Structure 1
Amino acid sequence: MNDSFAKIRNYILETRLWILLVAINLVGTAYGFYFYADQLRETSILLWIFVADSPLSTLGIAAAVTLRKLGKQNRYLDAYAFLANLKYGLWTAIVLLIYFQGFTSINSMGMYLFLFFSHLGMALQAFLIEEVDLKALTVVGMFFVANDFLDYFFGVHPFIPSDNIVYAGLTAVFLTLIGLLAGWKNRD
């Protein structure tokens, strides 16, 4: 990992900034569930874990950082937080770019930019998880493959303002693989 990023990561995690990071992620989680409220109402409760990808990602990183600070690290939560924030942070930013016209027709430019940059921040914060356990990453990776399958074969994916969701689906699968490779490189 880049020394500059390692210094930033250590500064955040070794000072009280980690509390601000957790708070920001919890606010993002709450907003994310608000954002997904209509879709959750229309989806079986059994599938909810596959619907609210970004809010569950930010909740995961908040929990992983908090547990780490409390000395109760969980390797599966760390792997989930790493892969989820990297994947869904990048996926959302890419999908916002691919379907720019559709998203800007239903959101203000301010909201569009907020969603874009906050999700890029999610991808960056994935690397606050210093090391990822390979076994845990493998298990979590299987969950993400199942999630991609449900999203694009059974329509559980987040709302995309287009009838052509092929690019969104290909991006999701590609980012699952990239996330697994990045986690493998970042393993303990």
Structure 2
Amino acid sequence: MDFLYLILRNRFFLWALLIVNIAGTIYGYIWYEYQLAQTPAIFIPFVPDSPTASLFFVFVIVAFLLKRNWPLFEALAIITLIKYGVWAIVMNILTLKVTGELPWEGYMLMVSHGAMALQGLLYAVFYKMKWWHVAVAAIWTLHNDVIDYVYMQYPNYPGLEAYISHIGYFTFWLSIVCIAIASYFARQYQQRRTLTIY
């Protein structure tokens, strides 16, 4: 594990990760372009879930490179990266099962979102979140679920419309699990069991 933490702390690796996440964030917003064009302005901040999650992590990496911690972004990043990373993998597998096919972009999204979830979890040992940071991030996350599945602004996955109520239920509990994970790492920091990135 020490070797892994050495890599995660390496400034060249952090710069590379920053570039990859910026590129992924830009691609993600472009992916949502069509849906955003049809979205009422009041809902726009809550529609592009995955690129906003990676944007939160961009701020986390920038803070690390500045030899700082920005705990609110850390809380938002860990919850949303794991949540939407896992969510996208499940949705693409469900699409394959329901429709019998998945375009190459679907496989690419599974790999990239798996990496999202992994980086959110791996860097959590360096976070300095407190309970109130997690609480704010939890409110954002659960509010986002309401926007998606009460006001029906969820990401468009053709062929899955008949399963939206089930997807909404799954998404809610996925949010709860991710909030619990963030709470665990907040407790680790409170007990001085986390590591320093710089």
Q: TM-score, normalised by structure 2?
A: 0.85
Identical columns (%): 22
Partner-residue secondary structure (3-state), 1:16: helix
Amino acid at match of 1:123: A
Choose which of 38, 41, 46 in structure 2 pairs with 1:42.
38
* Structure 1: unaligned runs, 5 residues or longer: none
* Structure 2: unaligned runs, 5 residues or longer: 190-198
Aligned to 1:115: 109
Amino acid at match of 2:138: G
Does the 8 Å contact 2:11/2:65 carry over to 1? no
Partner-residue secondary structure (3-state), 1:170: helix
The reply to whether residue 124 of structure 1 matches residue 123 of structure 2 is no
Give the 5 Å matches for 1:1-188: 4=1, 7-101=3-97, 105=101, 108=103, 110-127=104-121, 128-130=123-125, 131=127, 132-161=129-158, 162-164=160-162, 165-187=164-186, 188=189
Task: Render the CA deviation track for 1:107-162: whole Å, top value 9, x for unaligned.
Answer: 52x22211011101111111213233221011110111111011001111100222
Quick one: structure 1 residues 104 and 10, their matched pair in 2 at CA, closer, same or farther if it must change by over 3 Å? Answer: farther
Aligned to 2:196: none
Runs of 4+ in structure 1 over 3 Å off: 101-105
Deviation at 1:10, TM superposition (A): 3.9
Quick one: structure 1 residues 7 and 135, their matched pair in 2 at CA, closer, same or farther if it must change by over 3 Å? Answer: farther
Does the 8 Å contact 2:18/2:62 carry over to 1? yes
What RMSD in Å do the two structures reach over aligned CA positions?
Answer: 1.8
Partner-residue secondary structure (3-state), 2:161: coil
Mean Cα deviation higher: 63-72 or 22-31: 63-72
Partner-residue secondary structure (3-state), 2:80: helix
- Larger CA Rg, structure 1 vs 2: 2
CA distance in 2, matches of 1:10, 1:48: 39
Quick one: structure 1 residues 46 and 27, their matched pair in 2 at CA, closer, same or farther if it must change by over 3 Å? Answer: same
Amino acid at match of 1:153: V
CA distance in 2, matches of 1:10, 1:78: 20
Partner-residue secondary structure (3-state), 1:186: helix
Q: TM-score, normalised by structure 1?
A: 0.89
Aligned pairs, number: 182
